[in-house]
Amino acid sequence: MPTRLEREARPESLLINMGPSHPAMHGTIRIMLELDGEKILNSEVEVGYLHRGFEKICENRTYFNLLPYTDRLNYVSPLINNLGYVMTIEKMLGLEVPRRAQLIRVLMSELSRICDHLTCLAAMAMECGAFTVFLYKIKAREFIWDVIEWTTGARMTTSYIRIGGVRADLHPDYRLALEKAIKETRQVLKDVHGLLDKNKIFLNRTRDIAVISPEDAINFGWTGPCLRSTGVYYDVRKAHPYLIYDELNFEVPLGEKGDNYDRYMVRMMEMEQSLRIIEQVMAKLPSSPPEVIKDGLEPYEAIKEARRKRPERPIKLSPNLEGAEKHNYSEILCSDRRYVPPPKEEVYTTIEGLISHFKFFMKDHGIRPPKGEVYFAVEGGNGELGYYIVSDGTDKPYRLHLRAPCFHIVSALEFLIKGHLVADVIPTFGSLNMIGGELDR
């Protein structure tokens, strides 16, 4: 069956496909272009090549077990995806999260935001021919990923932020790594400003290209850096503060024209603000020196001894559980034991802990929010990232819908590129920061 564009195209114009196999289309977007020479007369954007089925999968997973699926939405900033989901569940359950866990969540979210913007602008610059900028930004991202990996154990798919708090406390030496990452990132941002801000080639590729008005951006459902590039002051962290954002001092950068250059510049300035937020959080985070366990029992020794009596000596847990020891629970997880797994020390040595562990993960047990529906949103890398969940009282969501900011932004691509040249599709598409996992869901 012919597409809409094929039916409406003029006989004298040329129809070509850009994507999904085009490298700039990330393998997940197809754009059919109607051309007069190199000028775009019309276009049709087709999405859906990723076939994730995220929302349907979530209907068949428990509230705890579907957390890793949120990592794969915006896979460049997975911690913000985790945060939006768990805070939606916490809103349903009425949970209060310890302050230290809130501070850690903000810290990790802003690190993820910087990674998101670095990746977006690195790809955009590279596709415009600025390969040096790509290398600089990826270098900065590596320093930040090192900090994230130290605490979460993974670079991308972290599943670190949990219902009721976070999986583990920060790495004891995180401050040194974080200070190094901040210093390196600031230097990279300074270098990139020098390379691109007044570069004639980059300005010609981005200035007054793909301009959108504030009214049109709002009508398309834009949020995040793309909306703010048009001059609209909307940031979920300011409009609907969550965690401790209302205690922090930061600005919301705005653009002027809503063109490709503004979308680049807003993200650059947002990274500076995220660094400010991280430094404020570091100042608020009290040092929590790790409890050194000397002459402790190995887990198998504790289990063996617990068959006769409760062990008197402390247990040395696996390195994978570093920061999640029992003495850390009060600072990183909520006090309501119905919604968090029991400490491993109790699981190994007490029948109550073992039963609680089994019941937490068993089918038809675990986390069961009351019947009802709830919506909660956070400020993601691309904008308002919202979860709408309907609970039927069981351990699985009856319905879960993701308000993906990327989908609304890409829906305007046909409007943005009309009247421009084929070469303008690349920086325009790059400035929108299309993430396949979030777009196709």
pLDDT, residue 132, reads 93
The two tokens of residue 172 are: 């004891």
| pLDDT 10s digits, 214-248 | 999 999 999 989 999 999 999 999 999 999 999 99
pLDDT, residue 89, reads 94
Q: What phi, psi does 391 have (nearest 5°)?
A: -105, 135
Please give the CATH number for the structural domain made up of 60-288+369-390: 1.10.645.10
Q: Give the end-to-end CA distance of the chain in Å, rounded to a whole number.
A: 26
Q: What phi, psi does 286 have (nearest 5°)?
A: -70, 145
Residues in Cβ contact with 136 at an 8 Å cutoff, skipping those fewer than 6 apart = 188, 191, 192, 195
- CB 192, CB 348: distance < 8 Å: no
The two tokens of residue 36 are: 């007069």
Intervals of the chain under pLDDT 70: 1, 6, 9, 288-295, 300, 306, 312
Q: What is the pTM of this model?
A: 0.92
The domain segmentation of the chain, as residue ranges, is 4-46, 60-288+369-390
- The string of DSSP letters for 66-98 reads THHHHHTSSTTSHHHHHHHHHHHHHHHHT----
Collapsed DSSP state (helix, strand, coil) of residue 389 = strand
| C-alpha dihedral (220, 201, 269, 106), degrees to nearest 10 | 70
- Cα–Cα distance, 120 to 127 (Å, whole number): 11
HSE-CB of 226 using CA atoms within 13 angstroms: 34
- Cα–Cα distance, 96 to 103 (Å, whole number): 13
HSE-CB of 78 using CA atoms within 13 angstroms: 21
pLDDT, residue 106, reads 95
- CB 92, CB 389: distance < 8 Å: yes
The Cα-based distances of 326 to 97, 158, 168, 341 in angstroms read 17, 21, 10, 11
Strand partners, 388: 375, 401
Strand partners, 33: 16, 43
Using left for φ > 0, alpha for ψ between -120 and 50, and beta otherwise, residue 286 falls in beta
